[in-house]
């Protein structure tokens, strides 16, 4: 009897262990598929609707192209869907000469019958611009970049000269215009696909089942689980060597790291400082880093009391120990911030006064504003990792502690990242921990997207701070292409900002990524974008020799 039971148990256990004898790494399926552990689900597959880098990584950077693009790893503009362009002398007219023989992707739900032409360009922009366009209201997300950069006011008209020539007529000269067209929201969609969708009455498929001209096309998406891509066979630059690309959506940073170490992913997004230290023990991984073009800040909603009082905002600036935050949250891998733009963006004003950490000053100012007994507030933070903030919840807890010392009682409120962003957009918060990554190396990208009056309407100005003088300065700076003049205007704007302090600017973080050594040719963009075009993989059985000869 005993023997029988033991035998049964033993065979049961054996069958369990047997399935473990399967070795993951020796599979040849992995040789041509890159698995990237990403930090969140995309909000959509249409980059026009969002500002979040996660969504751009999943959409514009793999599936679409733009008229012009940044060359990999830099903010230098090169040709893409537009082979060349002419700018008129007054800076108000741009003529783009479009590339011929560009194929859109053939997917399960769409087969193109024509090449890319001017109609697609017109469609992509008019959709964001014209309120009466059938695709204008298909999503509740709106067009945050198009609106906060006030492109509707900037662009007078877009004219199709012929199938391969498009003219943009502007109302006033705009220095960063080319850089703007290289941004993700300016991706080119397929007009033919749009027409088919109108006939089938499935307008939202435009954003959920994307069709673009880019290097990879979407094959399958399981929300919160994975996104699968395959190489676009007719890509105009030539089919990618990478056959398959998988985004393994893993919001939990420790799980991301565990997956990387276990070999389930080849590349890991947003490593925590502690992971960077730990990865040194594993020779098969390399760390890539880049000084970040980003800002992390706590926005104070100036439409809600007591944040409408600039004294209160100043007091809170004094009360927060930024040095500590950088040490604890960023593990030292960040610079303290005093301006809304990072120091590696030109026109950074080094002479802006830095608000030191001083509890007495904070209390004094708060008292003089009439809040001797302090007040209660909500501090919003999302439980995700962003390049500009590795752990917003941790930061919120530390800020909560700081504020307690001046009698300000903060309650930490958090939502899933997508929900968090939409609620902040609607202005439900008192104060929120947010951040921004520069998209094109131009200061206008920071100022008008986050602090302009237009951005209060689109909801991206989380402080809801609209100062007419400040707005005037940055608008003027956007109009001229004379760098010296722009620099002066932006520096004046930063001075204005430091007097009103609608934010507590916290830090500029360095960006890191941990990758398996088998990945070649991958560059981290200053905008922290994940561009997988041009990436190749060394087969696993060739890696051993690589690690001997390769110097780390």
Partner 1 sequence: MLYLALRQLLNLILSFFVLTIFTFSLAHLFPQGVSFIVDYIPVDIFSGDSLLHGSQLNNSQISNFQLNESSQTDNIFISYYHYMSQILTGHFGYSTVRGTSVFSEFFIYFPATLELSLGAIIFALGIGLPLGIFAAQHKNKWQDKLIISTSLAGSAIPIFWWAMLLVLFFSLLLGVTPVASRIGFEYDILPVTGFMLIDTLISKQNYAVDAFFNALHHLILPAIVLGTIPLTAITRTTRSAMIRVLSEDYIRSAKTRGIAAVQVIWKYALRNAMIPIITTLSLQVSVLIAGSLLTETIFSWPGAGKWLLEAVNRRDFPVIHGGILAIASFVILSHLFLDFLSMLVDPKWRHR
Partner 2 sequence: MASQSEFYHQTRIPSTYARWWAHFYENKLAFIALVIFISICLIAIFANFLAPYDPTLSFTESIHKPPSWYDSGDTRFFLGTDYIGRDIFSRLVFGARLSLSLAGAVVVLSASAGIFLGVVSSFANPWIDALIMRVMDFILALPSLLLAVVIVAVIGRGLPNAIYAVAIVLIPHFVLVTRTAIKHEIPKDYVTAMQLDGASKTRLFYHCILPNILPPIIIQLTLAFSTAILEIASLGFLGLGAQAPHPEWGTILSESHNDIMFASWTVTLPGLAIFFTLLSINLVGDGLRDAMDLEKNK
443 contact, one of partner 1, partner 2, none, CB 5-8 Å limit per kind: none
370 binds partner 1, rule: CB under 8 A: no
Minimum distance from residue 423 beta carbon to partner 1 (Å) = 9
Which residues is 160 bridged to in the sheet? Answer: 166
Place of tokens 């020779």: 283
Q: Name which of 205 and 432 has its Cβ closer to partner 2.
A: 432
CA distance 378 to 431: 6
Minimum distance from residue 116 beta carbon to partner 2 (Å) = 45
Q: Pull the structure tokens for residue 371.
A: 């809040």
Residues 369-408 that bind partner 2 (CB under 8 A): 393-394, 397-398, 400-401
Nearest-5° Cα angle at 344, 339 to 348: 40
1 contact, one of partner 1, partner 2, none, CB 5-8 Å limit per kind: partner 1
Q: Name which of 36 and 436 has its Cβ closer to partner 1.
A: 36
- Contact status, residue 390 vs residue 270, Cβ threshold 8 Å: yes
324 binds partner 2, rule: CB under 8 A: yes
- Contact status, residue 81 vs residue 98, Cβ threshold 8 Å: yes
Taking CB under 8 A as the criterion, the residue among 327, 405, 409, 546 binding partner 2 is 327
Minimum distance from residue 238 beta carbon to partner 1 (Å) = 24
327 contact, one of partner 2, partner 1, none, CB 5-8 Å limit per kind: partner 2
Name the residue among 479, 525, 488, 528 with its Cα closest to residue 177. Answer: 479
- Contact status, residue 269 vs residue 256, Cβ threshold 8 Å: yes
- Give Cα 265 distance to the centre of its chain: 21
Provide the 10 A C-beta neighbour count for residue 538: 15
- Contact status, residue 279 vs residue 90, Cβ threshold 8 Å: no
225 binds partner 1, rule: CB under 8 A: yes
- Please report how the helices 468-479 and 443-451 are oriented relative to each other, as an axis angle in degrees rounded to 10: 150
By rule CB under 8 A, what string of x and - marks binding of each residue 171-210 to partner 1?
---------------------------x-xxxxxx--xx-
Q: Pull the structure tokens for residue 340.
A: 């809304």
397 binds partner 1, rule: CB under 8 A: no
Q: Name which of 203 and 359 has its Cβ closer to partner 1.
A: 203
CA distance 45 to 139: 12
CA distance 239 to 78: 20
By rule CB under 8 A, what string of x and - marks binding of each residue 250-289 to partner 1?
x-x--x--xx-xx-xx------------------------
Taking CB under 8 A as the criterion, the residue among 82, 248, 345, 410 binding partner 1 is 248
Evaluate the CA torsion angle 151, 157, 161, 163 in order and state its sign.
positive
Name the residue among 415, 431, 434 with its Cα closest to residue 423. Answer: 415
Q: Name which of 138 and 445 has its Cβ closer to partner 1.
A: 138
CA distance 278 to 269: 15
Place of tokens 């610079």: 335
419 binds partner 2, rule: CB under 8 A: no
Taking CB under 8 A as the criterion, the residue among 257, 490, 512, 532 binding partner 2 is 257
254 binds partner 2, rule: CB under 8 A: yes
* H or E, element range at 227: strand 226-231
* Residues within the interface to partner 2 (CB under 8 A): 252-254, 257-258, 274, 278, 324, 327-328, 393-394, 397-398, 400-401, 412
Interface positions with partner 1 (CB under 8 A): 1-2, 4-5, 8-9, 12, 16, 19-20, 22, 24, 27, 29-30, 33, 35, 109, 134, 137-140, 198, 200-205, 208-209, 219-226, 228, 244, 246, 248, 250, 252, 255, 258-259, 261-262, 264-265, 415-416, 418-419
């Amino acid at each position: 009897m005993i023997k029988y039971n033991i035998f049964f148990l033993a065979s049961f256990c054996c069958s369990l262990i047997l399935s473990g004898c399967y070795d993951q790494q020796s599979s040849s399926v992995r040789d041509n598929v890159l698995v990237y552990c990403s930090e969140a689900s995309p909000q959509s597959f249409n980059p026009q609707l969002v500002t979040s880098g996660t969504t751009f990584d999943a959409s514009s950077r793999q599936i679409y192209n733009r008229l012009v693009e940044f060359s990999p790893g830099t903010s230098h503009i090169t040709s893409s869907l537009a082979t060349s362009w002419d700018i008129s002398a007054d800076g108000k007219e741009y003529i783009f000469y479009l590339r011929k023989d560009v194929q859109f992707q053939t997917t399960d739900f769409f087969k193109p019958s024509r090449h890319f032409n001017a109609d697609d360009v017109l469609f992509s922009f008019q959709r964001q611009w014209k309120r009466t366009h059938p695709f204008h209201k298909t999503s509740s997300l709106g067009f945050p970049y198009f609106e906060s950069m006030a492109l509707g006011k900037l662009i007078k008209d877009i004219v199709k000269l012929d199938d391969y020539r498009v003219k943009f007529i502007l109302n006033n000269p705009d220095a960063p215009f080319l850089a703007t067209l290289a941004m993700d929201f300016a991706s080119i969609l397929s007009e033919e696909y749009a027409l088919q969708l109108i006939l089938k009455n499935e307008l939202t498929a435009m954003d959920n089942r994307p069709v673009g001209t880019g290097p990879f096309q979407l094959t399958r998406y399981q929300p919160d689980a994975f996104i699968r891509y395959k190489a676009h066979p007719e890509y105009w630059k030539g089919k990618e060597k990478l056959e398959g690309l998988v985004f393994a959506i893993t919001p939990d940073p420790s799980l991301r790291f565990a997956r990387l170490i276990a070999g389930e992913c080849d590349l890991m997004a947003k490593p925590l400082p502690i992971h960077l230290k730990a990865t040194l023990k594993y020779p098969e991984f390399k760390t890539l880093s880049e000084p970040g073009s980003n800002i992390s800040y706590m926005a104070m909603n100036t439409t809600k009391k007591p944040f409408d009082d600039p004294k209160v905002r100043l007091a809170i600036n004094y009360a927060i120990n930024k040095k500590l935050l950088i040490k604890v949250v960023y593990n030292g891998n960040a610079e303290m911030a005093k301006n809304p733009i990072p120091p590696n963006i030109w026109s950074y004003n080094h002479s802006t006064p830095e608000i030191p950490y001083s509890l007495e000053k904070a209390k004094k100012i708060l008292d003089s504003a009439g809040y001797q007994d302090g007040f209660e507030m909500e501090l919003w933070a999302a439980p995700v990792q962003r390049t500009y903030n590795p752990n917003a919840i941790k930061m919120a807890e530390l800020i909560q502690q700081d504020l307690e010392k001046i009698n300000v009682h903060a309650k930490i409120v958090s939502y899933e990242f997508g929900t968090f962003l939409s609620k902040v957009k609607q202005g439900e918060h008192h104060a929120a921990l947010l951040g921004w990554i520069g998209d094109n190396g131009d200061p206008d990208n920071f100022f008008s997207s986050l602090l302009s009056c237009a951005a209060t309407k689109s909801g991206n100005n989380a402080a809801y701070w609209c100062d007419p003088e400040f707005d005037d300065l940055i608008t003027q700076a956007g109009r001229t292409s004379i760098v010296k003049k722009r620099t002066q205007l932006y520096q004046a704007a930063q001075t204005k900002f430091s007097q009103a302090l609608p934010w507590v600017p916290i830090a500029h973080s360095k960006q890191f990524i941990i990758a398996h050594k088998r990945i070649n040719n991958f560059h981290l963009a200053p905008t922290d974008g994940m561009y997988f075009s041009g990436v190749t993989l060394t087969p696993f059985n060739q890696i051993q020799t690589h690690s001997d000869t390769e110097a780390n």
